[in-house]
Structure 1
Amino acid sequence: MRMLQETPQEYDDRFLNAVTRAFDPHSNYMPPMQKEDFDISMRGSLEGIGATLREEDGYIKVVEIIPGSAAARQGELEAEDVILKVAEGEAEPVDVTDSRLRDAVSLIRGKKGTEVRLTVKKHDTSIRIIPIVRDVVQIEETFVKSAILDDPEGPSFGYLRIPSFYRDFQASTSEGGRNCSDDVRDELKALKEAKVAGIVIDLRNNGGGALTDAVNIAGFFIPSGPVVQIKDGRGRLRELDDEDAAVLYNGPLVVLVNQFSASASEILAGALQDYGRAVIVGSEHTHGKGTVQALLDLDRSLRLPGMDKYRPLGALKVTIQKFYRVSGGSTQYRGVTPDIILPDRLAHLESGEKYLDYSLPWDTVAPSDYRRRDHVTAFLPRLQGRSRQRIAADEKWQELQEEAKLARQRSEQTRLSLHIDEVRKEREQVKALAADGHSEGHPEDGEAENGGDKKTWQDELDEDLYAQESLAVLRDILAEKAVTVSTGSGGPYSRGN
């Protein structure tokens, strides 16, 4: 049935994608709706009604109403409602039963100020037509957020979550456009005013985004100097610098990563590691994406006679550069190796650039002229040793390592039982692991626009093994710095090449 819903244009889209991906895994053609989704993910907002939907048994069901959204203000649409038809204003309704989710979403989204009418089946099976005037919907889980974590036995610490390096390229900040570096600056200032003793930056599952923001954010923690090196297809090399000598935050810093931290995340983590400015904590390595892409809007680029009837045309994303750390190394394939490596429940997954078809090879360039900070370097072995001791003595970490071992064994299993009792036993084991999955410890990013949910996020951080170990590393750094101050040893910078 779903194959019959494929349009000739969608087959063309697949062909174009096959051609572009033959050059490298990050060059691809974006059809108009995919381009729209990309823009939404980059700016963190969309124009629509503000409802999270899912496809269930051939129906489009409402999962959640986003607080403060157009749907929430209108008040009639509720979670668990089933959307049967969608109409644009007074136009004839379109039946969305057995429609693909993306087709229904394309009908529901629309320009701010326009009306969409939803024919909805309610809990009591009654049918109701609900008119909603579309508005801008802020996707809060896109944006930076912070928390102050109090320690009853010591100082408070700041926790800064960066889900992606977002930037609204189509609107200035005066027009309401947001960007990641401005938001990080604001959160850092707030944490400084709260006099936190150290900060954890959480880059887990951050797949990248705007290169500009990664460079800007690195500059908040280092004096002026190069942040990343860029090489184009002709082999020309240039540096992207932090040109501001001011340092926004100069205190203890830990950066938390995992194997899904990629691209701009690796630029930030790699720069802070090369400068010796932060201790990097996380899984064995990050994703390993060391390439830069440019997005070509085909509606702007192709202004040939007769093209108007084919618009919108979508966009073409093309790999144009490779980036390198200031130390000269590349994150391509190898990623960033943390200073302190933590057990990873998902270590068995073949996740990373090196597993992608047609990915570009690893190479190096000459290091930049930069000055490395030595305060962390001097006592890093002691930090590593204390972290290993904590993990070895912690029952929850041992449980996680056992889960990781079982997950690897299952992934390597080549023979499966067809006996019903064995199948049921296997399912129960999987359910048990899933029930204990909180020990893996990455909190949900879906935060509503009210203080109660933010407190919930803080509570989740208390149960997050990786976050708690990062805070423990911060405490160790403070202890080491106290010893350094009392003995008067150590110097701030050394040459990095």
Structure 2
Amino acid sequence: MKGFPLLRRTCLLALLTVSSSVLALEQVPALDLDQLQPTRDQVVASQNTVELLRRHHYNRTRLDDALSAQMYDTYLKHLDPQRSLFTQQDIDAFSGNRLRLDDLLLQGDLSVGFAMHKRQLQRLQDRLNFSIDLVENQLDGFDFNTDQDILVDREEAPWASDEQALQQLWRAQIKDEVLRLKLAGKSLDDIRELLGKRYRGQQIRVNQTRSEDIFQNYINALAQVYDPHTQYLSPENAENFDINMSLSLEGIGAVLQSDNEYTKIVRLVPAGPAKRSQQLATSDRIIAVGQGEEEMVDVVGWRLDEVVKLIRGPKGSPIRLEVIPASNPPGDLTSKIVNLTREAIKLEDQAAKSSVIELQNNGHDYRIGVIDVPGFYIDFKAYRKGDPDYRSTTRDVRRLLGELSEQKVDGVVLDLRDNGGGSLQEATELTGLFIDRGPTVLVRDSQGQVQQLDDPEAGIAYTGPMAVMVNRLSASASEIFAGAMQDYGRALVIGESTFGKGTVQSIQPLNHGELKLTLAKFYRVSGQSTQHRGVVPDIRYPSLLDSEEIGESALPNAMPWDTIPPARYQTSSHLQPFIAQLQQQHEARAAKDPDFIYTLARIGLDNQIKARETIPLNESKRKQQQEDYENRLLELENQRLTARGEEPLTTLEESDPLLAEVHTEDEDSDPKDDAFLLETSHILVDLLQLEHQVARAN
């Protein structure tokens, strides 16, 4: 972006792929905590980071006692998120430094951060020793017929008063883990072997902790106070980041994040092996990884970067993942093995594709064109070479619009579901296909200066009725485009509220590692931020993705939604008078649609489960809860199938009807099988008919 040099390494995308070497599980010497001390390079890097954050972060937050308290709380939550390692005595010993961290950082003093982390490592070693002894020597003594309960979420629970109380908690947590595995069909011998290996593997991970690990965690507690996308990258992680942001996307094609002790799938990359397999879904948890036919390596409790290293590997190499499906009932640890082959994700595989849906409404035939846009891509290499045939989202969509016009479609749906973004240039140019010149997005820096990006070309590639489909996983460039279409009144936006990532990051080199720093925010031409709130659709669909767990608003210290003065642009208000009636017609149809009925009922059921504060450690009670949940799921699914004229099931299928990816890249799939895409086409037809009625009345 000319005139905005700090954005030359702008990070508009989440990690797209994971692709590696196997971490050996050989025995390593016990960790010597006294040897874990900050280095001179780390001290200098901490001071450089403090200055960059103070001077250049978008928020311009002061380094004071208030920030120190936030950093302390963030760090403590990172070290012990479920309050199962520290005692109240530990917390009392730490708390005297809660308002001192800012002063210590200015002095380059990292001692408190290292001391707290080393206490956590000691507690973790104690817990693992306790756990190994328990599962290997005392497993037969567990009584699953008591009335004992355990808290589902200990994030706000009181700290254990002393070490004895801590061991009682550990015993209850291990008992819960054993019970979950029992209900998943594993014998006590299998459980003893699995948990023994898991805890010993975690023990090895702890023994491999380096000074760099502690430093990175501590400095990131500072960075995360500013916003969730500001991040310190150690020299090793900086190298991994560059690999993952490169144009050569080799791996399984999945965005991963840590979720307590698990590694969770956040998004599947379009055309990647993971998505094409149709065996993986958002929120699935990876619990083991196998290379080819080698023994699976349990990765529960591993750090995210170590799991990434284990999954990374050369294209063409086989990999097996053991996952707990997100569609499992809560507490059900039943897993499945997914076989994949790592590969390079080719640009043409991610390219926009089109199809046509034929509908009848009030005795009239309609043809709705659908363009699936999985990402905002451009072949930069060919573009820079001056290749006249370089591929890009805008070029492909322009061509597809021409083909659909030849097929005499009555309207067009642009499908941006699961589109995590990509090239900002492409978001601007794609907007330009549907408006006749004008601003496309605003970028505001930390100094308050606003840069306006424009579509300079006259002419519109398509002037007919249009809808843009979005969901919770539509992010970044997708939100810029959808927001522009809504602001210009050019298209109906239909679906779920989008992800809400409206910030701009730049990589700043340090003497030791790098700092990914938030420098700016995106704003729509209306002046509204896309940050936090995302793009709110004109007509909303229900979603099984929990917005409290997925999306910008689910991230700690996410920057707020706000507004700036709007750009000068010419908007059309011709859609606004129809939205209320379109909503009514949609709701009337949805009330009879089996898929919409199922979705709403499933959301209600899942909310009931999430509302539970405790779960029993009594086997029969837990089993009854699980059976009740599965029976209710089966009942809902059979109601859906019966309403569709299909045969009911006698048992639940392996994949959930809506969590399983109905929005796939399978060229043989019928777009009419996607209930939400079909309903969007109906809404567009409703719009056509309403416009015709108005035209006839005039």
Give me the TM-score of the superposition, normalised by structure 1.
0.71
Distance 1:425 1:467 in 2: 37
Match of residue 25 from structure 2: none
| Contact 2:663–2:674 (8 Å) recurs in 1 | no
| Contact 1:441–1:465 (8 Å) recurs in 2 | no
Is the counterpart of residue 184 in structure 1 residue 407 in structure 2? no
Q: 2:470 aligns with which of 257, 263, 266?
A: 257
What is the one-letter code of the residue matched to 1:257? V
Q: Which moved more, 1:317-326 or 1:425-434?
A: 425-434
| Contact 1:165–1:214 (8 Å) recurs in 2 | yes
Bigger fraction of residues in strand: 1
Q: 2:575 aligns with which of 367, 371, 376?
A: 376
Distance 1:182 1:161 in 2: 14
| Contact 1:348–1:411 (8 Å) recurs in 2 | no
Distance 1:119 1:407 in 2: 32
Q: Cα offset for 1:410? A: 1.1
Match of residue 38 from structure 1: 244
Q: Which moved more, 1:233-242 or 1:200-209?
A: 200-209
SS at match of 1:201: strand
Is the counterpart of residue 437 in structure 1 residue 636 in structure 2? no
Q: 1:164 aligns with which of 368, 375, 379?
A: 375
Query: Where do residues 26-425 of structure 1 align in structure 2 (5 Å cutoff)?
Result: 26-30=229-233, 31-32=237-238, 34-36=240-242, 38-40=244-246, 43=247, 45-46=248-249, 83=292, 102-104=308-310, 106=312, 108=314, 137-138=345-346, 142-151=350-359, 154-169=365-380, 172=383, 178-283=391-496, 285-295=497-507, 298=509, 316-347=515-546, 349-425=548-624
Q: Cα offset for 1:213? A: 1.5
SS at match of 2:582: helix
Q: Percent identity?
A: 33
Bigger fraction of residues in helix: 2
Give me the TM-score of the superposition, normalised by structure 2.
0.52
SS at match of 1:158: strand
Distance 1:474 1:181 in 2: 23
| Count of matched residue pairs | 413
Distance 2:290 2:230 in 1: 39
What is the one-letter code of the residue matched to 2:530? T
Deviation sequence 1:168-190 (CA, Å, 0-9, x none): 55663757975433333333333
Deviation sequence 1:391-428 (CA, Å, 0-9, x none): 12223322221111011111111122333334234434
Question: Taking structure 1 as reference, are residues 329 and 32 closer, same or farther at Cα in structure 2, changes over 3 Å only?
Answer: closer
Q: Cα offset for 1:471? A: 0.8
Distance 2:238 2:245 in 1: 10
Question: Taking structure 1 as reference, are residues 477 and 117 closer, same or farther at Cα in structure 2, changes over 3 Å only?
Answer: closer
Tell me how large the CA RMSD over aligned residues is: 3.9
Distance 1:186 1:64 in 2: 27
Deviation sequence 1:434-459 (CA, Å, 0-9, x none): 847324685354x4xxxxx4022xx2
What is the one-letter code of the residue matched to 1:26? H
Match of residue 92 from structure 1: none
Deviation sequence 1:256-307 (CA, Å, 0-9, x none): 1222322222211111111111111112x222222122345x5xxx7x8xxx
SS at match of 2:434: coil
Distance 1:393 1:144 in 2: 32
| Contact 2:290–2:296 (8 Å) recurs in 1 | no
Q: Which runs of 5+ in 2 are unaligned?
A: 1-200, 257-271, 277-288, 300-305, 321-340, 638-651
SS at match of 2:245: helix
| Contact 1:440–1:465 (8 Å) recurs in 2 | no
Distance 1:410 1:364 in 2: 37
Match of residue 73 from structure 1: none
Deviation sequence 1:224-275 (CA, Å, 0-9, x none): 1111221111001121111112111111111112223222222111111111
Is the counterpart of residue 22 in structure 1 residue 225 in structure 2? yes
Q: Which moved more, 1:138-147 or 1:472-481?
A: 138-147
Distance 1:281 1:29 in 2: 37
Q: Cα offset for 1:211? A: 1.8
Q: Which moved more, 1:164-173 or 1:406-415?
A: 164-173
Question: Taking structure 1 as reference, are residues 32 and 385 closer, same or farther at Cα in structure 2, changes over 3 Å only?
Answer: same
Of structures 1 and 2, the one scoring higher in RCO (CA 8 A, sep 6+) is: 2
What is the one-letter code of the residue matched to 2:366? P
Question: Taking structure 1 as reference, are residues 107 and 383 closer, same or farther at Cα in structure 2, changes over 3 Å only?
Answer: closer
Distance 2:682 2:318 in 1: 51
| Contact 1:346–1:404 (8 Å) recurs in 2 | no
Distance 1:238 1:36 in 2: 27
Q: Which runs of 5+ in 1 are unaligned?
A: 55-62, 68-79, 86-94, 110-115, 121-131, 305-309, 448-452, 489-497
> Which of the pair has more CA radius of gyration?
2
